Amino acid sequence: MKRLPLAACLAVLLGVTLFAVTRTDDFNRTDAATLGANWATPADAEAFQVYGNLAYPHAAGAVYSWTYWSADTFGDTQSAEATLGAYSASFQIGVAVRMQAGAVTQGYACVAWVGAYAIREFSDSDSSVELVGSLGTPQNGDVLKCQTDATTGITFYVNGVSVGSTTDGTYTSGRTGVMGYGAVMTLNDWTGSDGAAAPATAKRLTLLGVGR
């Protein structure tokens, strides 16, 4: 019987996907009107900016800002994560998944939305439908994570704890990124990745050539 490579055996054991794309951005650089060459913005939205080593929506407070990581392609199972900085209950900010690379902003976002957390589907930069809301009250310093599964599931995590989930099949692939409305809010320490996360507890498996 053919032996599996050690890396493949460990991947089965831990429930992870090999060769997953993981990219990070701490925004620690010179102030700029965009997030830089690794990022892109749909034509119907404004770009996020870097100011004071943080990511801000566009300075025009009444304009939606959407920016996605364009330097890599992500699998259908993907996540976006960032830390919520300055927050105002009058505006919105969050992390995006399955953003469509094109002229029109489309995809999903897990957001701090006018005083509460929500998962929303966007069909353009400022048109959206709330898929599930009232998921808790945003606090400065919260770590937001939006996670899709391999099909239609979307889960919102705050500080590592699931606060809500839903299903929607409008967008089944795309890029990870950030969204915001109102320039008084910030995000920091962004991570975008694909591949399923390892489970909290992995069962012991006996594989040929690994374990006993």
pLDDT digits (tens, 9 = 90+) for 6-63: 444 444 444 444 458 899 999 999 999 999 999 999 999 999 999 999 999 987 656 7
pLDDT band with cut points at 50, 70 and 90 for residue 168:
very high
| DSSP E strand boundaries for the chain | 22-25, 39-40, 49-51, 54-56, 64-69, 78-84, 92-99, 107-113, 116-124, 127-132, 143-148, 153-158, 161-167, 175-181, 187-194
pTM above 0.75, yes or no: yes
Could you tell me if 96 and 176 are in contact, meaning their C-beta atoms sit under 8 angstroms apart? yes
Share the mean pLDDT of the chain: 84
pLDDT at 93: 94
Query: What pLDDT, on a 0 to 100 scale, did the predictor assign at position 59?
Result: 73
Look up residue 61 and give its two tokens.
Answer: 């407070």
The class that CATH gives domain 20-194 is mainly beta
66-75, 82-91, 155-164, 186-195: least confidently modelled range: 82-91
pLDDT band, very low/low/confident/very high, at 212 (cuts 50, 70, 90): very low
pLDDT at 196: 52
Helices (H), 57-160: none
